[in-house]
Each structure stands twice: as C-alpha cells, then as structure tokens.
Structure 1
Amino acid sequence: MPQEAPLNALDSAAFDRAVGAALRVLGTDPRGRVVIDGRSGSGKTTLARRIAELGGARLVSLDEFYEGWAGLAGATRTSARLVEAHARGSVGHYRRWDWERGEFADRDTAVDPAVPLVIEGCGALSPRAAEHASTTIWIDGDPDVRKRLALTRDGDAFAPYWDMWADQEDEHIRANDPAALAQLSFSAT
C-alpha cells in the first residue's frame, strides 16, 4: 500500500517554529509582510497557508504569476514590487498567469495593504523584497526528498520541467542569495 506523501518536507518542530516566528511578527505588525522563499518541494506553500490562516493574512503565491515554466525571474520582480507597495501602504497589482491558456489574465489582481501579506514561492525573496519585508524565511532541503515531494504533489505536469526549473532556482540563488537575506532558515529533511 503506497504511503501518502507528507504535506511538506519540514519536520513538525521546524514547521511550528517557523509558524510561531511569523505569527509573532504579524502580532506586532498588523500590516506585516512575510516573504517565504525556497526550492521546489521544500514546504513553502504549506507553511505560507498555515501562517496566513492563523495570522489573518492575504496569501499570494508566485504560482499565480509565474509566466509559465520559464517565469521565475519575472515573478521575482513582481514579488518585490508587491512587497514594496504593501510597505508603502499602496495597493499592489499583478496579473494572474493562466497555465492552461499560456497567457496572463486581462485584469489585474489587487493586494490590499491594510491586510497582512504572506507571499511565497521560488524567487520571492530578493534584496528589494527583503528591504520591505517584516520577516523573511528561506527553506531548502535534500534534493531527492524535495523532488519526490514536488512530483508527488504535481505529478506528470511538473516532471518534464524539473531540471529547467531547478536551473532557474540556481540562477535566482546566485543573483539574489535569498538564504543570506532570510531572517529564518530551515532545512527540510
């Protein structure tokens, strides 16, 4: 009988530490901005969902605006722009990517600066985003575990793009060094 894949690669103690730390920040900054970055399959989305749920925050995932499988760098710029606008108290905007049609939506999606923001995804954390974030989190882990979890989660849709995506992650890490920008770092097992 196959085992169900874990919700994320972080062990429960690390997951609880990350949630607690982010909630403490949001508790002192009700318009706070939590930026979560890390490699695919590391547990970013599960962590971000939990923080947003408990912290009453708006969750924005870079999956919403990657321009397809080659769109990590563009999403990094959009993430920084959204975090910066939120910090200024301005409404941020982005266009959703329609993965089935292969194009951006016709209308913008707004991000209300009066509500705490949790933004997550590979490429979310750059120097510009970190400058305006209330707290920053980096998650990495064993490549084989991450790949197994990501492909279990996304199946055949992601498998052909795994290497191409990993190359973009490597480029993002070289260009932005998100682990060094992170106030909290976790390694998934």
Structure 2
Amino acid sequence: MSSRDEAQIAAFDRNPDPAFQSYRSSAELVVRMARSAAAAPVVLIDGPSGSGKSTFADAVLAAWPDHSAELVRMDDVYPGWAGLDAASHSLVTELLEPLRSRGTGRWQRWDWAEAAPAEWHVVVAGHPLIVEGCGCLTRASAPLADVRVWLSADDAVRKERALTRDAGGFDAHWDVWQQQWARLVDRERSDRLADLAVETTDRLQPRVPRRSGGAAAAAR
C-alpha cells in the first residue's frame, strides 16, 4: 500500500461527516460481496467524473480487513487527457488478463508533470485488488473481475465536484474528457455490467444489484 493510500485511509477514518459514514456502509457491502466471491477478488469501481469513485475506493480499502487490498487508480494510468480508451485497453491487456492467466500483471504510471510514461508497477495475484476510475469497467474487463460497482450522480453536482477537486486543472479539459467518456459508455454500456449501482448525489445508497448470479447473487 502506498503512503498516499495510507494517508487517505487515516483521513477517512477520522472524518465525522455523515456522508462519509454512508460511504463506509456501502463500502462494507462491497467488501462482503468480494470476499464471498473469491479468496483474492478483483473489484472494479467505475462511473463518470465527479461521481465519487476515488473516495468510495478509499472507503472500500479502509473497510477491508487489515487494509490488505491493493488499489490501482486509473488517474495514474491515463496517458494524458486524451487517453481514456488507451488506459481502459491497457488495464485489460497488461494487468487484468495476465493477472488472471499467469498470476502477475502490471500497469504503467503516467507522469502528468512531464507528460510522459513513467515506471511500471507489478501486481501479483494472491491478495485483493481494487481498480477505480473512468473506463475500468468494460465488456472486456467485466469477466476478469469479481465485483463491479457503478457510481453515478447528478451531472451538475459531479461537474462541480470534479472542477473544484482539481482546482482549475480540469476546466480546460472537461469537454474533451466528457466526449471520450460518452463514446466509451455508449459503446460498452458499462453501467449495465455492474453488480452494484450507487447513487452519490446526496448520499451513497446502494440499489438492488442489476446482474444475476456471481458476486451479486452471493450478497443477497
């Protein structure tokens, strides 16, 4: 676990905001689903920008016994602002498929400051893996995961969240990113691949899983 993830867990545990506690209850449900599905499950958390994926992933990581899950953030993988499809593809071909077939996968960090690819990170099977970020849930990745979560929020609310979070860094790229996102979701129907859908506009409340069988059935 990275020092950033440890800091996020500590901050999450100390936050008294009731909204964060609603994240906690939903995250605990995801952990129960995942642990009932596999000994070393893979969890994918997707949804549009500003829907709360990063915070929800922090909550899932904090809820995991001994904080033993590994977290990969798609924000670290996208090769620039036009790289949604490329990152979604490499997640499958470089990380999830090799992890399932050979027990070892990898992902390459994108250095946003240098606008260039950086070091590779190796992921070894045998412990839980959480992947969060736009584009992680596709028709290719869904069969390689044990639990698939879709977050959503009102468009105006999530845009305000995303632009506020990035303190102006996202403003000039919002439209380009949304166009990529719309094409990907239209092609993949990612929301229909989820086991659990969570609405985050006001607070996180899990809806009834929309898939039959698998981890969703085990959690009923």
Same-fold call, TM cutoff 0.5: yes
**Structure 1 match to 2:58:** 49
Task: Give 1:114 deviation, angstroms.
Answer: 1.6
Greater length-normalized contact order (CA 8 Å, ≥ 6 residues apart): 1
**Structure 2 match to 1:69:** 81
Partners in 1 of 2:106 and 2:198 — Cα distance? Answer: 30
Q: CA RMSD in A?
A: 1.9
Contact 2:24 2:59 survives alignment (8 Å) = no
TM-score (norm 2): 0.76
Task: Give 1:77 deviation, angstroms.
Answer: 0.9
Three-state SS of the structure 1 residue aligned to 2:166 is: helix
1:3-152 equivalent positions in 2, closer than 5 A: 15-28=23-36, 29-55=38-64, 56-81=68-93, 82-88=95-101, 90-105=103-118, 107-152=119-164
Partners in 2 of 1:178 and 1:18 — Cα distance? Answer: 20
Instruction: Give the length in aligned residue pairs.
Output: 180
5+ long unaligned stretches in structure 2: 1-14, 202-220
Three-state SS of the structure 1 residue aligned to 2:140 is: helix
Residues 71-124 of structure 1 deviation map (CA, whole Å, 9 limit, x = unaligned): 00011112223223333352111211000100101x311112122100010000
Three-state SS of the structure 1 residue aligned to 2:125 is: coil
Partners in 2 of 1:102 and 1:136 — Cα distance? Answer: 30
The one-letter code sitting in structure 1 at the alignment partner of 2:32 is R
Partners in 1 of 2:29 and 2:101 — Cα distance? Answer: 23
**Structure 2 match to 1:161:** 173
Go from structure 1 to structure 2 and tell me whether the alpha carbon gap of 1:126 and 1:94 turns closer, same or farther (over 3 Å shift): same
5+ long unaligned stretches in structure 1: 1-6
Percent of residue pairs bearing the same amino acid type: 34
